[in-house]
Amino acid sequence: MASGTALIYDEEMTTHKLLWSDPICDIEVPERLSSSYEQLRSYHLVERCVPVPAREGSEEEILLVHSLEHLEVAKSTQTMNEEELKRVSKNYDAFFFHPSTYRCARLAVGAALQLVDAVMAGKVHNGMALVRPPGHHSQRNAANGFCLFNNVAIAAEYAKLKYGLQSVLYFSWHRYEHQEFWPSLRESDYDAVGLGKGKGFNVNLPWNKVGMGNSDYLAAFFHVLLPMAFEFDPELVIVSSGYDSGIGDPEGQMNATPEVFAHLTHFLMQLANGKLCVILEGGYHLKSLGESVCMTVKTLLGDPVPQITGEMAPCLSAVESIQNVRAAHKPYWKWLAYEDTSFLQNLSTKSHLLKKANSNPSTEDESQITNNNNTVKVERFLELHMKNILLPMPPIKTAATGSEVSEHFFPEHVQLVKEMDKTEIKALVSGFYADLVKEETLLSLGSMFVILDKILKKEVCNGIAASPTAALSAAVALRHSVRFGLQRVLCVFVGDMQMIPNTEDGKMLVINICEKEQSRKTSCKHYISLNWKEDAEGNDFFSAVLGFILPVAYSYQPNLTVIAVGPNRSLGISGISLLVALLRGLAESRIFAVIEDTEISLMQSIAKALVGASTPPFGIYVPPTQEKVNKIKALRDQFQQEWKMLQCSVKDGISRN
């Protein structure tokens, strides 16, 4: 199994720069690259990565996507003077040439291909290439929007040719504003789904207003991108990584804070057996860009994912866009076959366009002055924000209890710790659990207590323990965590949960995944019974995790996640592994897993998911039946007002404007 994260950076790509005054192009500066690299150095991330040198992309490689005419024009600029460069640049929309531009653009292409090679050859698990000029706006026969050669498109064609990869699924979210925002292309709207055999493989999610935040981007992943990606089952994921959506960016004018990129990266790492190539595109607020790049690389390295901030409720406009994308793609995707989707024509943001059209020029000038002042404010905000979310990492990533025999079946990086003895347990619990369990039974939970205690004290990030009774262990773990001072503890219990805790104070949220309805307690805001039996032919649990469990969990924002597997479990190893891997994005990756079943393969798979070093196999994708889709929809309808990340259509009811 490949390990390590590649980082590609070549200082020569900073020599591409604007030689004259151009208010449109002056934000695409060399410091975008150099300051991002310095930020990585300041977090000591550069030395943790595997350095991979850039190389020039060959003409043949560039011609995989671009025309010979375009290549020759770019090549001819190497010997031009400033006036000639300026004249050629005016032939394109928002692009500038420098004598070094052609060389830098070839390095950017080559860096992307080097990264693909390193990942596909198994030299590294994943990686990031810091490149410029960026590439995503460039066309077959023209430079456009700061971009000369389309680095990611070339990388995709190269991967198909060299490694025999088959089809491509393309997903893009972008500022659109009903075609009012540059480049104002009709084919960037939600109904541009691809042509011919490619229908359904071109996914556009247009943002029709500015100010989109963390919850909007997460909702797009939960309700569009991730279910499509899991059904598509890619062999490689290439990210055209634009950070224009970051807070303070003058182009995107969105409000995503840097940690959301850690969460999005974490989700993408669960695809393609972890083969993930991130290639820099946009991002024009230097501080916001640098911090966001660092969050991406930290996650690629396997660091705990920081707690997400902001209200967990997508805005009305975001949900409208999500609903239209789902409706447009329903004919092409099995996961959407039984979903109740319909197109929305009267969008809430249409009225904003009328106001914008009636605004006078002086208002626009004042807006520019405000933006300049905001740059300073955003820098100050980010300084404090990053200190608040980047907490010290526990010295041990993943812990388990056991003897030397256990060491042979747990994956690398799992550290074994000694169980608590009678004296230690008594000192810890002090009779607090007398109403739950007799003393002699409590003492059998030494394995569970030592792992949980180390997680609560932040000596360990996450861990796994075997228990004679998972229900008892889960009940004790929940109460012990609340007693320790945690305000929100999520428990996902797989199997028959004989002991259901009191969740009325909101300090615990329990999701019980079981084959049959649990008669002891009806579902309420903080206790949810999800009746589900995994399909025998493959994994159909994706729809439940992505369509319900993950949105509820992100809405709740737990300080700790407890995952317990008890008797009569209705999920196989692949479904449980999927659950653990995706929930590791919450609570700073603090997960306590307690397993009643001592099946070695189950323990191994959960431990691998906790370590995060390798993506566990999730099994063959099976689309959910109509009955199961209706079951998820009924739960979504029941709980969407409490857990607002469940909202994926306008009729669901929205609270945030």
Over the stretch 232-277, which tens digit does the pLDDT of each residue have?
A: 999 999 999 999 999 999 999 999 999 999 999 999 999 999 999 9
Superfamily of domain 5-167+234-313: Histone deacetylase domain (3.40.800.20)
Give the model's pLDDT for residue 360: 45
List the single range of 58-62, 402-406, 499-503 with lowest mean pLDDT.
Answer: 402-406
- Rounded Cα distance, 531 and 516, in Å: 6
- Rounded Cα distance, 127 and 236, in Å: 12
Break the chain into its structural domains and give their ranges.
5-167+234-313, 396-622
632 has a pLDDT exceeding 70: yes
Give the model's pLDDT for residue 424: 76
- Rounded Cα distance, 9 and 41, in Å: 12
Give the model's pLDDT for residue 361: 40
Give the model's pLDDT for residue 425: 74
Q: Please report which helix (H) or strand (E) contains residue 575, including its range.
A: helix 573-583
Look up 137 and say whether it is catalytic.
yes
- Rounded Cα distance, 547 and 118, in Å: 34
Under 8 Å between Cβ of 193 and 332? yes
Per DSSP, 652 falls in state G
Give the model's pLDDT for residue 355: 57
Q: Tell me the CB-side half-sphere exposure of residue 593, using CA atoms within 13 A.
A: 31
Give the model's pLDDT for residue 406: 59
Give the model's pLDDT for residue 515: 86
- Between β-strands 237-241 and 276-280, what pairing exists: parallel, antiparallel or unpaired? parallel
Average pLDDT for 426-447:
68
Those residues whose C-beta lies under 8 Å from the C-beta of residue 621, and which sit 6 or more positions away, are 230, 231, 233, 538, 539, 540, 542
Per DSSP, 621 falls in state B
Those residues whose C-beta lies under 8 Å from the C-beta of residue 236, and which sit 6 or more positions away, are 116, 119, 120, 159, 163, 165, 272, 275, 277
Over the stretch 592-604, which tens digit does the pLDDT of each residue have?
A: 999 987 778 898 8
Helices (H), 414-521: 422-429, 439-442, 446-456, 470-484
The larger pLDDT score, comparing residue 371 to residue 283, is at 283
Percent of the chain with pLDDT over 90: 76
- Rounded Cα distance, 535 and 572, in Å: 9
343 has a pLDDT exceeding 90: yes
Give the model's pLDDT for residue 3: 81
**5-167+234-313 against 396-622: fold identical:** yes
Give the model's pLDDT for residue 119: 98
Indicate if the alpha-carbon torsion angle 269, 273, 274, 279 is positive or negative. negative
Over the stretch 393-432, which tens digit does the pLDDT of each residue have?
A: 999 999 998 654 456 667 777 888 877 777 777 776 666 6
Percent of the chain with pLDDT over 70: 90
SS3 334: helix
**Average of per-residue pLDDT values in the chain:** 90
Give the model's pLDDT for residue 656: 55
Of 592, 515, 533, the closest CA to residue 558 belongs to 592
List the single range of 41-55, 85-99, 201-215, 331-345 with lowest mean pLDDT.
Answer: 331-345
Give the Å distances, CA to CA, from 453 to 226, 417, 483, 509, 600. Answer: 34, 12, 12, 20, 24
The active-site residue out of 98, 125, 137, 480 is 137
- Rounded Cα distance, 72 and 74, in Å: 5
Query: Which CATH architecture is the domain 396-622 placed in?
Result: 3-Layer(aba) Sandwich (3.40)
Over the stretch 159-198, which tens digit does the pLDDT of each residue have?
A: 999 999 999 999 999 999 999 999 999 999 999 999 999 9
Give the model's pLDDT for residue 13: 98
433 has a pLDDT exceeding 70: no
- Rounded Cα distance, 161 and 113, in Å: 12
Give residue 536's pLDDT band: very low, low, confident or very high (50, 70, 90): confident
